[in-house]
Amino acid sequence: MKAIAIQAFGGRDKLELMDLPIPAVGPHDVRVRVKAAGVNPVDWKIREGFLRDLIPYEFPIILGWDVAGVIDQIGNEAPIHQIGDEVYAYCRLPVIQHGSYAEYIVLPANIVAKKPTSLSFIQAASIPLAALTAYQSLFDAGGLERGQTVLIHAAAGGVGGFAVQLAKHRGATVIGTASPSNHDYLLGLGADRVIDYGTQDFRQVIREWYPSGIDLVYDCVGGEVLEQSVEVLNSTGCLVTIVEPGRAENMKEQGHNVRFVFVAPNAYQLDELTKMADQGQLHTHVASTFPLEQAAQAHEILEGQHVQGKLVLTVG
């Protein structure tokens, strides 16, 4: 099968179009003929080797943790799916090796969900990792409830855009930080208020709006933004971040209510996202698509860190 893979860690020049064996299908697995693969920041971080000490890996590594496609083979103990099912999945496996930048991927059947019927394969492939990250951060880690207020940093990004919609759907008041060019986009997603991170100090703005502080801050940026975010929480507020786990742990040791989230596959939550999408309550914005062979170009754009929405590779 054709796949984009790396034989060593490094820059975009390490991405190669290879002809690799199709992984074997185990009894609890399904094989998916890939139609589209989402591109996420974690992909280039894996490529650079930033996760080499966190998750086992084996070269050649096929990148990609988002997939949408059609099941064409099923293990004899994986009866929950049928051949021909159109599915999608967040496909992080225990060993980094077989990803979605390929014509086929084999996955445990219990992490695969039927894709929204209202969405194309390209649209569906843009959802799992980012939307599950937002879901698990806001609700599992942050405990966001109806009537509470959440501040979402980098709200126009892939994860942030889903976080805005999920928080609003839950009944929260949603504030996002973004550049002015993205303000209308966020308001269209359901944000109640938007802060220009370039010209406004979000701490000052939040203090003016909510003198007692807010319930939740969701950080997708890190650095000073992460550290400063605790200043706007109320007495029982929580700060959830998806970056810099070491810094988050240090803040936690200092007595702050800080939680780090590394998203996990979850087909049940994907089913909920599917229902929302098919009911018109969850929208995805695909910024650009690229054929599989142009994965390096997608990585170059993503590394610029100013993508509104998601990038997707088309396969076949």
CATH number where 115 lies: 3.90.180.10
- Say if 120 falls within a structural domain: yes
Do 121 and 37 have their domain in common?
yes
- How much is the pLDDT for 79? 81
Do 162 and 247 have their domain in common?
yes
- How much is the pLDDT for 224? 96
Q: What is the mean pLDDT of residues 66-93?
A: 96
State the chain's mean pLDDT as an integer. 97
- Per the model's pLDDT, the better-predicted residue between 316 and 121 turns out to be 121
- Say if 277 falls within a structural domain: no
Do 199 and 104 have their domain in common?
no
Is 178 a residue whose pLDDT tops 90? yes
199-218 residue pLDDT tens: 999 999 999 999 999 999 99
- How much is the pLDDT for 308? 82
- Say if 266 falls within a structural domain: no
| Low-confidence winner among 41-55, 129-143, 298-312 (lowest mean pLDDT) | 298-312
Do 87 and 149 have their domain in common?
no
Is 316 a residue whose pLDDT tops 90? no
Tokens of 97: 């090796």
- Say if 40 falls within a structural domain: yes
Do 219 and 292 have their domain in common?
no
Cα(163)–Cα(302) distance, integer angstroms: 19
Specify the residue for token string 């780090």: 260
Contact 149, 210 (CB under 8 A): yes
Do 110 and 205 have their domain in common?
no
- Say if 94 falls within a structural domain: yes
**pLDDT tier at 123, thresholds 50, 70, 90:** very high
Do 196 and 290 have their domain in common?
no
Q: What is the mean pLDDT of residues 230-244?
A: 97
Do 76 and 34 have their domain in common?
yes
In sequence order, what are the beta bridge partners of 216?
150, 238
Is 272 a residue whose pLDDT tops 80? yes
Do 122 and 213 have their domain in common?
no
Do 134 and 255 have their domain in common?
yes
Do 77 and 143 have their domain in common?
no
Structural domain harbouring 47: 2-127+284-314
Cα(156)–Cα(183) distance, integer angstroms: 8
- Say if 279 falls within a structural domain: no
Beta-sheet strands, E only, within the chain: 2-6, 16-19, 29-39, 61-62, 66-74, 86-90, 104-108, 112-114, 149-152, 173-178, 193-196, 214-219, 233-241, 258-260, 286-291, 310-314
The structural domain count of the chain equals 2
- How much is the pLDDT for 133? 98
Do 119 and 154 have their domain in common?
no
Q: What is the mean pLDDT of residues 28-44?
A: 97
Is 305 a residue whose pLDDT tops 80? no
Is 14 a residue whose pLDDT tops 90? yes
Q: What is the mean pLDDT of residues 304-313?
A: 86
Give the residue among 316, 309, 315, 314 at the shortest CA–CA distance from 40: 309
